[in-house]
Amino acid sequence: MPARNLSRVALFAALMAICSWISIPAPVPFTLQTFAVFLAPALLGGKMGTIAVGTYLLLGAVGLPVFAGFSGGIGVLLGATGGYLLGFLLTTLVVWLAEIALGTSQPVFLASALVGQGLCYLFGSVWYALGYAGGAAGLPAVLSTCVIPFLLPDTAKLILAWSLRKRLAPVLAKSR
């Protein structure tokens, strides 16, 4: 991988960490992390965005405090909200697969990021329901805690990333 791509991956992994530290505590914390997860494939492309998210997750898994609340470690990834963190990888993988199949247009990015976010919610919610209180959390409780409060903020983050993509992607393309 060229040094330019390595530095971009590192930059976006660091951006995800910084965005995760901007947090409103809750059972599933409100952070700007999702914005960075959307922005990585928006500006780097699906492949490099997925590598950036994977790098971020690996940094957290080895114990660096890159997750919400300055937390890190494999325990966070295996904890109640770990499914949402791992779901970020699903989000970027969907964008990458859509790019391979359908191209890199703005509508393809927007649609694939929405589908990816839906899969992230699904994966994270199932993980949360099975791991939280020994699987005693029902669907209404999980949705009201983990999904519904995040729908509008995450949609706003996606629209912001999509808007920045429209403006910044041509600049980044010139610097390749």
Catalogue all structural domains in the chain, each as residue range(s) with its CATH number: 3-174 (1.10.1760.20)
- SS3 string, the chain, reads CCHHHHHHHHHHHHHHHHHHHCEECCCCCEECHHHHHHHHHHHHCHHHHHHHHHHHHHHHHCCCCCEHHHECCHHHHHCCCHHHHHHHHHHHHHHHHHHHHHCCCHHHHHHHHHHHHHHHHHHHHHHHHHHHHHHCCCHHHHHHHHCHHHHHHHHHHHHHHHHHHHHHHHHHHHCC
pLDDT of residue 145: 85
Give the pTM.
Answer: 0.92
**Mean pLDDT of the residues in the chain:** 92
Share of the chain above pLDDT 90, in %: 73
Residues 80-96, mean pLDDT to the nearest whole number? 95
- pLDDT of 98 strictly over 90: yes
Amino acid occupying residue 128: Y
What digits encode the pLDDT tens for the residues 124-171? 999 988 876 566 667 888 888 889 999 999 999 999 999 999 899 888
Q: Is the model more confident about 134 or about 13?
A: 13
What's the confidence (pLDDT) of residue 140? 85
The number of C-alpha atoms within 13 Å of 176 and in the hemisphere containing its C-beta is: 12
